[in-house]
């Protein structure tokens, strides 16, 4: 039987989503929990994408395949899995899925939101990037407009375990909003290169500081540059917000 799981997690204590041989991962914790609930290791447990160490999720999606005749409702599966999980991983929804459903390959759009704090925060250090400098939001939005659309983002991606992966990506949405002491950068696309979102954020922040112009940002798209890599934003502020199918 195959289930679709919608999951939230605090990534602070984990070495990312992907299963690790030595370190704790979100995928590994879910596999362990499912093994205890169903009495056997899942046949499959795949997420919509890999979040890095320290990155969080409000709406990660995974599919869980188990070969078991336990007659549990989806609500019972959710409750039992959550009972086995640590407090910082929570399954929000369990749904029955088609045997052909794949959390990664069937995803049409992934939405990330990066949280920037304008001030020091005693409670949210693990969930924001505190940028001390005053940022020019208008300049950041102009740069975001340059990055939106279909481009070669080779300057913004890190080498991954998929060396043949195309660096051509369509950014469907790149929006910057403010709410009191917070700045939110929303990034939506069909897929992303490894570290691409955090490097986009880093470049936008430097543009807000006055270091770059929109012309500089356009140059990063037209000519490969190591500059975005040096400006990779910390993982703490990044959340996988939603996956659309």
- Which runs of consecutive H residues, i.e. helices, occur in 9-136? 26-38, 74-84
Please provide residue 140's backbone torsions phi and psi, each rounded to the nearest 5 degrees. -65, -40
Pair of tokens at residue 227: 């500059």
Using only the alpha carbons of the chain, give its radius of gyration.
19
SS3 label, residue 66: coil
Q: Any idea what DSSP says for residue 71?
A: -
CA 141 – CA 218 distance, rounded (Å): 13
Active site residues: 52
Q: Who's near 192: CB < 8 A, 6+ residues apart?
A: 49, 110, 112, 169
**3-state SS assignment for residue 130:** strand
């Amino acid at each position: 039987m195959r289930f679709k799981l919608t999951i939230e997690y605090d990534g602070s204590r984990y070495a990312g989503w992907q299963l690790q041989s030595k370190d704790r991962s979100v995928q590994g914790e879910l596999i362990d929990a499912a093994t205890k609930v169903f009495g056997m290791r899942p046949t499959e447990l795949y997420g919509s994408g890999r979040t890095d160490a320290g990155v969080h999720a409000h709406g990660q999606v995974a599919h869980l395949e188990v070969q078991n005749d336990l007659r549990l409702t989806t609500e019972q599966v959710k409750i039992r899995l959550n009972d086995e999980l640590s407090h910082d991983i929570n399954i929000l929804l369990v749904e029955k899925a088609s045997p052909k459903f794949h959390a990664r390959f069937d995803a049409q759009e992934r939405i990330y939101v990066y949280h920037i704090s304008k001030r020091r925060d005693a409670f949210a250090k693990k969930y924001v990037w505190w940028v001390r400098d005053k940022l020019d939001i208008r300049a950041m939005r102009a740069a975001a407009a340059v990055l939106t659309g279909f481009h070669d983002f080779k300057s913004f991606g890190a080498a991954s375990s998929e060396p043949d992966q195309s660096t051509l990506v369509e950014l469907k949405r790149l929006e910057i909003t403010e709410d009191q002491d917070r700045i939110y950068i929303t990034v939506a696309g069909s897929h992303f290169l490894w570290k691409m979102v955090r490097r986009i954020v880093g470049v936008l922040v430097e543009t807000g500081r006055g270091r770059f112009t929109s012309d500089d940002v356009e140059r990063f798209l037209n000519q490969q540059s190591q500059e975005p890599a040096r400006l990779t934003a910390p993982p703490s502020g990044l959340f996988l917000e939603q996956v659309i199918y």
